[in-house]
Homo-oligomer: A and B are copies of this chain.
Amino acid sequence: MAQQDRAIRTRRSILEAAARVFGERGYASATVEEILNRAGVTRGALYFHFSSKEEVALGVLEAQLPLDRLPERSSKLQKLVDHGMVMAHRLQHDPLVQAGVSLALDQGARELDRDAAFRAWTEQLEQILTEARSQGELLPHIDVTDTAEFLTGAFAGVQAMSQASCNRADLGRRVSVLLRHVLPSISTPALLAALDLSPDRGERVFEEYEANSPAATAPVTQG
């Protein structure tokens, strides 16, 4: 295995261990020692990749950022829907994405810039909404920043409630309900009827995404 592959594997196993420790104890009470023990790596290996517990946490937060290169759609509101649905799918299946979202909601993590996680999502959605506006897809009174911020916050809470209720088993359905409650307030009526808001949309779009970008999603542990 090339040295670079090994470094990528080590970084990933540190992040996965940190995700479990943060999830069990909360950020504030987690220690670098516990992360080392769980990951089975040396202190030197950890400090090669991360200078502090905070930096490890920023690595975990990164895992929940919006995916680049989701398939393009002629309707930009469909692309907006796809981002939400794919995120629901990733949250159901990727422990690192789950840990990133939990950290963003962890009020005990005072030294972390948790707001950055929310801002990244807001900016992504704002950009898609601006494209939708330029194509005439939005109702005229919409403020794209307000809508993007609201969607980010609403999604965060809906997934938290789904996690508390059934470990996110019904998250696809809940995000579909969210979209059916919000899109009539932002989309032109004719487009609304053409959008696919079905609960299993996320899985289908994620498969399409993976087929188009094998390099980005191949498991790094198969070196």
Q: What is the interface of chain A, defined by CB distance below 8 A to chain B?
A: 23-29, 102, 104-108, 114-115, 118, 146-147, 149-150, 152-165, 174, 177-178, 180-182, 184-186
Contact = CB atoms under 8 A, between A and B. Distances in A.
Contacts of A178: 150, 153-154
A164 B159 CA distance: 17
Contacts of A162: 153
Nearest to A143: B177
A110 to B, nearest CB: 8
A77 to B, nearest CB: 14
B29 A165 contact: no
B163 A150 contact: no
19 contacts: A23-B108, A25-B26, A25-B108, A26-B26, A26-B106, A105-B107, A105-B160, A107-B160, A114-B164, A150-B177, A150-B178, A153-B158, A153-B162, A153-B178, A157-B157, A180-B185, A181-B185, A182-B185, A184-B184
Contacts of A163: 107
A142 to B, nearest CB: 9
Ranked nearest first, the 6 interchain pairs of A and B with the lowest CB-CB distance are A157-B157, A26-B26, A29-B29, A156-B157, A154-B154, A153-B158
Contacts of A155: 157
A24 B154 CA distance: 25
A27 B26 CA distance: 8
Contacts of A26: 25-29, 106, 108
Contact of A157 (B115, B160, B165, B184): B160
Contacts of A177: 146, 149-150
Contact of A153 (B24, B114, B149, B157): B157
A156 B8 CA distance: 36
Contact of A118 (B105, B106, B161): B161
Given A23-B107, A157-B153, A185-B184, A115 B164 contact: yes
